[in-house]
Amino acid sequence: PRTALLFLSPKDLYTAPDSCEGRCEEPYSEEDECHCDAECESRYSCCEDYYVHCRPEGFSSSRDAITDEELLHVSEQLYGADHNKARPNDIAINPQYRAAPDETGDQEDHSPEPLYAYVNEKLFSKPTYASFIRLLDNYQRATGREEEVTAEELREQDNFLKEVMKTELMKKLFTFLHKKNRYSSEQEFLTDLKEMWFGLYSRSDGEKDSSGFEHVFSGEIKKGKVSGFHNWIRFYLLEKQGLVNYFSHNFDGPWDTYPDVLGLQFSWDGFYKEVGSAFIGCSPEFEFGVYTLCFIARPGRACHLSLGGHSVSIQTYTWPKSTYSHGKRYIATAYVVSP
């Protein structure tokens, strides 16, 4: 009998070199950009979407993929649920000098006044703020120095997670990720949040000296420069102590309410930050939730959201050199992109 000829479109034959779609269990070849075989986890060479396409359990079908439209919709939901954010009269900022793109590396203090003219510190007694602020003194800011985590610090992490999970914002985020088969229970989500954000890894010399939370919210010093540090509360508290000196801003978001977005130039104890973008006036759970959403939905890529009708993008990066529970990646960084 004649063999039926199968006509395949080029699309069926082509698979993207940086994707595992249609490549699960493909034999290892060192020429490939990234890999999709069972051993790729131990080699740290899996493609970014390996867990989406090839992981035996959990989500794999296209209906569980998070679309760009869904990201716009769920981010508006989170924005609307940020009940703990600053009200317009809770904060007065004084942005002063606006740096041109070619001036952000100047390390010149163009703004004689502090950035924060006023903050209503009653905000800080709200449970999510209070538990967040308690975490900020838990870190050695120099990379290469091992973090010693005490029992009290572990309790502070748990307490912060417990408080944020009580909020409508984080409940909405869990509901969305649950529908997308990322997590089967709130407890599973909580356990993963703790590892993803607070799990320790090494940024230098093999010492467990860093975590996503430390880098993003508290800030680190690496090779003589400020690394991470994208949080307005941390900035305000250090500026008030005279430890942060505001130099200029290179971007001011389109908002006339909070959370606003600023790209900042500043010095922290003499160490410089060329562009430290931050949401100003949001609650800790808003930033924590939005960064988590983007890290899960678009790891290592720009994640396009809508907040109060305005477009905003979050960039996250995964930490490639170490993993936890079945090859999941830690957060290396997450920040709002200032154009």
pLDDT at 5: 53
Cβ atoms within 10 Å, residue 133: 17
What pLDDT is attached to residue 40? 82
270: left (phi over 0), alpha (psi -120 to 50) or beta: left
The 3-state DSSP class for residue 84 equals: coil
3-state secondary structure of 269: coil
| Positions marked catalytic | 215, 230, 273
- CA 305, CA 290: separation in Å to the nearest integer? 9
The domain spans of the chain are 12-56, 68-337
Task: Tell me 107's DSSP state.
Answer: -
CA distance 196 to 215: 12
Are 273 and 250 spatial neighbours (Cβ–Cβ below 8 Å)? no
Q: Classify domain 12-56 by CATH number.
A: 4.10.410.20
273 or 3, which is more confident: 273
* Cα(87)–Cα(226) distance, integer angstroms: 30
- Check pLDDT > 90 for residue 14: no
Tell me, what's the pLDDT at 275? 94
Nearest alpha-carbon partner for 82 in 287, 261, 305: 287
pLDDT given at position 225: 95
Q: What is the DSSP string of 118-185?
A: EE-GGGGGSHHHHHHHHHTTS---BTTS-----HHHHHHHHHHHHHHHTSHHHHHHHHHHHHTTS-SS
Comparing 74-83, 240-249, 254-263, the range with the smallest average pLDDT is 254-263
Kindly state the average pLDDT of the residues 332-337. 96
pLDDT recorded at residue 48: 82
Those residues whose C-beta lies under 8 Å from the C-beta of residue 243, and which sit 6 or more positions away, are 268, 269
Task: Answer whether residue 21 shows pLDDT above 90.
Answer: no
pLDDT, one tens digit per residue, over 36-85 is 888 887 777 888 888 778 865 544 455 678 999 999 999 999 999 999 99
204 has pLDDT over 90: no
The answer to pTM > 0.85 is: no
For the ranges 15-24, 174-183, 236-245, 292-301, which has the lowest average pLDDT? Answer: 15-24
- Residue 27 has what pLDDT? 80
Among 302, 298, 300, 252, which Cα is nearest to 279's? 252
The Cβ-side half-sphere exposure at 16, using a 13 Å CA radius, reads 8
